[in-house]
Structure 1
Amino acid sequence: MVDFFTKMAEAEPLSNMSAETVAQAIFKNWCLLTRRDISVSTKIRVYRASARSILLYGCKCWALRVEDERRLEVFDHRCLRTILRVKYTDHVSNEAVHTGCETITRISQVIQKRQLRWFGHILHCPSHKLSSAALDPAPFPTLRRRRGGQPKTWLDTVRQAMQVVLEPSVFGVRHWRKVWVQLSRSAAANRHAWKGAICDIIETG
C-alpha cells in the first residue's frame, strides 16, 4: 500500500492527471485494503499516514462547502468500511464504523483542527505580512464586491467555527468583520488557551 501511494506521487503531479487516471489507479489497488494477511490496525495506520495525508494536503486553506465536506466523508467512510470488511447491506451505521476504528478521527474534525491551527499561526504573524493583511475585510480600498451572493471564503469558514467560542453579540455589531478578528487575535495570544478553544470548537462541532 505504501508503494502504491509513493508511486502515485512520483509518477506525475496530481493536477496533470485526468480524473479517469486517478480513479483507475485507486480502484486498481482497492483490493489492498481487503487483504486478510494485513491486520486492521496496520491498514488504518497506513491509510491515515498515506491516503489521508494525500487527500487532505493543503486542507488548512480550503473553503469547504457542505457538498465538499459530504463527499470527503463519503470517501472516508467507504475506505473504513472496506478496511473493516463491512458491507452497506450489513446495515451498520457510520458511527459504528468509526467506533470500530478508535485510532482515527473524523475527517471533518481533522480539517477543522488544521484550519484553526493555521488561523492561530496567522494571528501571530506581524501586521506587515501578507497572510496577516489578508485578515482585513477590505485589504484593498479599490476592491468592490460583485453584486449578488458572495462565494464562501476560507475566512468565512473560520469565522463560522469561531462563533462557538466568541460571544454571539460580536457578530451583530456593524463592524463585526474587524471585531471578531481582533478578539480572535487576543485569544490566540495565549497559546495554551487557544489550544483549549480549538478543542472546544471541535467537540461542539
Structure 2
Amino acid sequence: MLKPIWRTTSLSMHTNFRIVKSNVLSVFLYGSECWKTTATIERKLEVFQNKCLRRIMKVFWPNMITNMELRERAGANSIAETIALRRWRWLGHVCRMPPDSLPRVALRWTPQGKRNRGRPKETWRRTVERELKNRGLTLQTAPATAADRPKWRSLAVASSTRRRRED
C-alpha cells in the first residue's frame, strides 16, 4: 500500500525516509523491546527494511549495492540495532523501578517445573542476559548500573557502535 508514496515524484527522498522512520518503523517495531530475538526474526525484519529502502532509493536488480551501503546512504540503523537499543532502554527503566513492582518481579521470576527435552528455547530473558554479559553485567548488577543514567546510556551507545564495526 506504500508503493504509490515511494514512487511519487512530489515527495523528496528525505521526506520518504522520514515517513518510514516515523510511521512505518514505529508501527512495525511497536513493543519490540519485549521481543525475543533470533537470527531468523532479525533476518526477516532486515529484509523488510531493506525492501522499503530500496524502493525509496529506486535501487533495483541491475544496480547492485550491499545492504550496509544501502543503510549508509539512507542514514538508517539496522533493525537489530534499533531493537537492541529499545530493549536496553526498557531494561534500564525496569531496573530503576521499585523492587516490588510487577515488571521488576517478573524479570527475576523463574517458573517451577522442567522444560521439555531438546534445545533450550530462546526467551526474552536469555536475550537480555546475553546482552548484559556482552557489557560485563548480570541481572543482579544491572539495577545498580541503571541507577546511573548517563553510564547506562553510554553502555547502550558503545554497544551499538561496536555492532556497526562488526558488520
TM-score under structure 1 length normalisation: 0.74
Structure-1 residue corresponding to 2:36? 63
Contact 1:60 1:115 in 2 (8 A): yes
Contact 2:132 2:139 in 1 (8 A): no
Structure-2 residue corresponding to 1:3? none
Gaps of 5+ in 2: none
Structure 1 residues 166-177: aligned runs within 5 Å: 166=136
Matched to 1:76, the amino acid is Q
1:150 deviates by 2.4
Structure 1 residues 113-152: aligned runs within 5 Å: 113-136=85-108, 138=110, 140=111, 142-152=112-122
| Equivalent position SS for 2:139 | helix
1:191 equivalent in alignment to 2:149: yes
Contact 1:161 1:201 in 2 (8 A): no
Please point out which of 54, 60, 84 is paired with 1:87.
60
Off by >6 Å, runs of 4+ in structure 1: none
Gaps of 5+ in 1: 1-25, 168-179
Stretch of structure 1 that moved more, 80-89 or 146-155? 146-155
Structure-2 residue corresponding to 1:156? 126
Give aligned pairs, total.
Answer: 163
1:97 deviates by 1.1
2: CA distance, partners of 1:156 / 1:72:
20
Q: CA RMSD in A?
A: 1.6
2: CA distance, partners of 1:164 / 1:89:
40
